[in-house]
Amino acid sequence: MTDQEATEQSQVQLADILNTAHSLVSLLNRRLGSSGTVRPVAQESERQSVEGQSRQTETGPQSGQLRCPQRSGSVHQEMARSFPGLFRRETKGKRRFTPYTRPKKSFLVNFFLLEKQRSKTPKGDEELQLILAGLGKRSLSVTESLTHTELTDLLLNAFPRLASINGGWLLYKSTGGGGQRRLAVIPPDSDGHSGHQLKTVSGNGKCTLYITPLQEQIETSPLPPDAKEFENMPKAPCTTCNNMVPLQALPFHIKSCKEEMIYLSSSPENESFTQDNESPLRTKHQTEMTTECPVCRGIFSTDAIETHASDCGIRSSNQECNISTSEDESNYFQSSEEILNWISGQVDDSCTFSLCVSRFDLFSRGMQQWQRQKKSRPNCRLKVSFLGESGIDTGALSKEFLTEMVSEIENKLFVGSADKKGKNPLYCLNSLDTNYFRTAGEVMVASMAQGGPLPNFMREWCYRYLCSGDSDSIQVSTNDVTDSELFHLITEVNRATDENINELTDDIVGCGYTGKVSVDKKDLIMRAIVLHSTMRLVPMLDQLRKGLQLCGLLQVMKTNSDLCLPMFVPGEDGRVDAAFFLERCQPGFS
């Protein structure tokens, strides 16, 4: 029999079955319409006899009407009785219990999203900066049956900024120990990261897993308090703006919110307002919250006085002085004292560079006040007033301010080593972006010109570059490396052997060395590390040179580099003073 004949035969059988079913349904409908009950075909004779008896009992002389017979069962029962295989769904045999399924156990894993590829874990202040940018740590519930796709969706829900990465990401695990630790990559399985793998590498959630982008870098600018990343964080209201702010970001928000909410009164009536014409209805609390500006003698609130003082400089009608120094004028100096006296003579005493600063956080506040001053130039006579302190600057307050600022510049913008032979600029792009190094150069010139301390805390190679501006003339050695991590790397390379030098390959390549990593190439490797440590500081020194152009000092340094060397590079101090006695005095114990 061919396939076509078999198909035709099956179609004929199907047609017969359908015809039989239609006949059966029509028969049931007729019987339901006639008597209201359904009986089996085998009991048709019994149905006729019972039907005859019911007619005799239901028809009587008194009623004269036909009564409807009482149904013995529902239609479903009759259909189940006639077709037990179709309408009876009861299972035969013993009734079994529902099989027990063990619930899936979940465990918490701490994930930390980094902004870029790192070889070590971030520091404490960096962690807070990442949290404010919507990155940082999240605790997520993970099961062992979790797949890579489910893990990706879970991380995207916890870190919305992770969705902007197109170059992929990997998981890293930190090594043991405290402080900054090295990161080791967690290679994914053939089907990606799974819940069982995460449970194993994290020690059942005890270790933090770091998410690192491979080819891109995430922006670390702080997000607004109502960002999606802060929805699940605990929040508290800010008393200044009444906005709900995450607790981690609340200290920084309070500081910035107060600066934004400062009210500056620009009308002449408010600027000339004094306590003599103050309203008698003014309360004692309101009087205590106001301060007199030492420059214009106006009354302002304590929150607004500092910002007002930055724009309230006293200036005469003279034009700004652009001082230029020719080579002929700067070649006759015989000593460093003569150079300092000449710089002092370049100060414009007819104009005043006025600052009103607070002793709290003097470095950042002083830098900001210096940069905001627009009514006069920093080569004018410096006048300083401290907030909350009465007094007129006749020279002592400005010297105190310059002394504190030069000391803060040395501590905040420069870093030294144990040999105490000078410091290098700190590799800080934030300070470079805010022009702090240029402002530091202007403060140094003002300090030398107006009786302040000398900035003699730099390395000699830094001073030589400030004089020439040519990076090809820089001569550095391993002693000029003041960065602790790079100095430690140089020490490890110097001690390395053939067995363990390969462990330092990543750090060596990160310093720009592209040759073969071996013990025979130690000198070349250390030279590359030294150049990497010093050459990356050239932008900071270039910005510092722009500040040193004040009062023509940079031109003097070019033509008299040896005479200006003691003003910037530390040396032997032979003066006998109190500091000399304290350094030389040593107790003699019996």
- Judge contact between 581 and 477, C-beta under 8 A: no
Give the number of other Cβ atoms within 10 Å of residue 529's Cβ: 24
Label residues 133-142 b or e (16+ Cβ within 10 Å = b).
Answer: bbbbebebeb
* Shared-domain flag, residues 216 and 343: no
Q: What are phi and psi of 245, to 5 degrees?
A: -125, 140
Angle CA 60–64–69, to nearest 5: 70
pLDDT of residue 66: 39
Q: Counting Cβ atoms within 10 Å, is residue 198 exposed (0-12), middle (13-18) or buried (19+)?
A: buried
Single residue among 222, 254, 269 that ends a domain in this structure? 222
Q: Determine the angle formed by the axes of helices 436-449 and 362-372, rounding to 10 degrees.
A: 90
Note whether residue 31 is domain-resident.
Answer: no
Note whether residue 297 is domain-resident.
Answer: no
pLDDT of residue 71: 46
Give the 3-state secondary structure of residue 183.
Answer: strand
Nearest residue to 212 (alpha-carbon basis) of 154, 170, 165 = 170
Give the number of other Cβ atoms within 10 Å of residue 547's Cβ: 22
Write the CATH number for 199: 3.10.20.90
Q: Mean of the per-residue pLDDT values for the chain? A: 75
Note whether residue 71 is domain-resident.
Answer: no
For residues 535 and 506, give the distance between their C-alpha atoms in angstroms, rounded to a whole number: 20
pLDDT of residue 276: 41
**pLDDT band at 462; cut points 50, 70, 90:** very high
pLDDT of residue 455: 92
The percent of residues in the chain predicted with pLDDT above 90, rounded, is 10
Strands (E), 118-180: 136-143, 169-174
pLDDT of residue 123: 81
Note whether residue 99 is domain-resident.
Answer: no
Question: Which of 15-24, 183-192, 295-304, 468-477 bottoms out in mean pLDDT, i.e. has the lowest?
Answer: 295-304
Domain total in the chain: 2
pLDDT of residue 37: 47
For residues 554 and 490, give the distance between their C-alpha atoms in angstroms, rounded to a whole number: 34
| Stronger pLDDT, 94 or 237, i.e. the higher one | 237
**pLDDT band at 192; cut points 50, 70, 90:** confident
For residues 106 and 146, give the distance between their C-alpha atoms in angstroms, rounded to a whole number: 10
- Judge contact between 537 and 531, C-beta under 8 A: no
For residues 167 and 216, give the distance between their C-alpha atoms in angstroms, rounded to a whole number: 6
* Shared-domain flag, residues 218 and 318: no
- What is residue 67's DSSP assignment? P
pLDDT of residue 351: 83
* Shared-domain flag, residues 462 and 579: yes
- Judge contact between 508 and 525, C-beta under 8 A: yes
Single residue among 166, 199, 222 that ends a domain in this structure? 222
495 Cβ contact partners less than 8 Å away, ≥ 6 residues apart: none
pLDDT of residue 82: 73
- Judge contact between 367 and 436, C-beta under 8 A: yes
Note whether residue 377 is domain-resident.
Answer: yes
* Shared-domain flag, residues 319 and 175: no
49 Cβ contact partners less than 8 Å away, ≥ 6 residues apart: none
> Alpha helix (H) ranges present in 311-449?
336-345, 362-372, 396-413, 429-433, 436-449
Give the 3-state secondary structure of residue 14.
Answer: helix
* Predicted confidence (pLDDT) at residue 49 exceeds the cutoff of 50: no
Q: Domain containing 457: what range?
A: 313-590
pLDDT of residue 43: 46
For residues 62 and 85, give the distance between their C-alpha atoms in angstroms, rounded to a whole number: 47
* Shared-domain flag, residues 345 and 462: yes
For residues 447 and 312, give the distance between their C-alpha atoms in angstroms, rounded to a whole number: 22
180 Cβ contact partners less than 8 Å away, ≥ 6 residues apart: 120, 121, 122, 123
Q: Compute CA distances 401 → 67, 265, 308, 357, 452, whole Å.
A: 118, 28, 19, 9, 9
- What is residue 222's DSSP assignment? P
Question: Which of 70-79, 223-232, 458-467 bottoms out in mean pLDDT, i.e. has the lowest?
Answer: 70-79
321 Cβ contact partners less than 8 Å away, ≥ 6 residues apart: 348, 351, 377, 379
564 Cβ contact partners less than 8 Å away, ≥ 6 residues apart: 336, 339, 463, 467, 556, 557
Q: What are phi and psi of 177, to 5 degrees?
A: 115, 180
pLDDT of residue 307: 59
Please write the tens of the pLDDT for every residue from 513-527.
Answer: 888 888 888 889 999
* Predicted confidence (pLDDT) at residue 368 exceeds the cutoff of 70: yes
Please write the tens of the pLDDT for every residue from 255-295.
Answer: 767 655 543 333 333 444 334 444 333 333 444 466 666 55
| Stronger pLDDT, 454 or 85, i.e. the higher one | 454
Give the 3-state secondary structure of residue 292.
Answer: strand
Question: Which of 109-113, 229-233, 363-367 bottoms out in mean pLDDT, i.e. has the lowest?
Answer: 229-233
Note whether residue 298 is domain-resident.
Answer: no
State CA 106 to chain mean position distance.
Answer: 29
- Judge contact between 369 and 279, C-beta under 8 A: no
The number of C-alpha atoms within 13 Å of 479 and in the hemisphere containing its C-beta is 9
**pLDDT band at 193; cut points 50, 70, 90:** confident
Q: What are phi and psi of 213, to 5 degrees?
A: -70, 145
Give the 3-state secondary structure of residue 261.
Answer: coil
Note whether residue 401 is domain-resident.
Answer: yes
Residues comprising the chain, all counted: 590
| Stronger pLDDT, 10 or 331, i.e. the higher one | 10
* Shared-domain flag, residues 201 and 341: no
- Judge contact between 409 and 425, C-beta under 8 A: no
Please write the tens of the pLDDT for every residue from 304-329.
Answer: 666 565 555 433 333 333 444 444 44
Please write the tens of the pLDDT for every residue from 402-445.
Answer: 999 999 999 999 998 888 888 999 999 998 999 999 999 999 99
Pull the structure tokens for residue 582.
């304290």
Please write the tens of the pLDDT for every residue from 51-108.
Answer: 444 444 444 444 444 344 444 456 767 777 777 666 655 555 555 555 656 666 788 8
Note whether residue 279 is domain-resident.
Answer: no
Single residue among 174, 197, 222 that ends a domain in this structure? 222
Please write the tens of the pLDDT for every residue from 530-566.
Answer: 999 988 999 999 999 999 988 888 888 888 888 899 9
Write the CATH number for 416: 3.90.1750.10
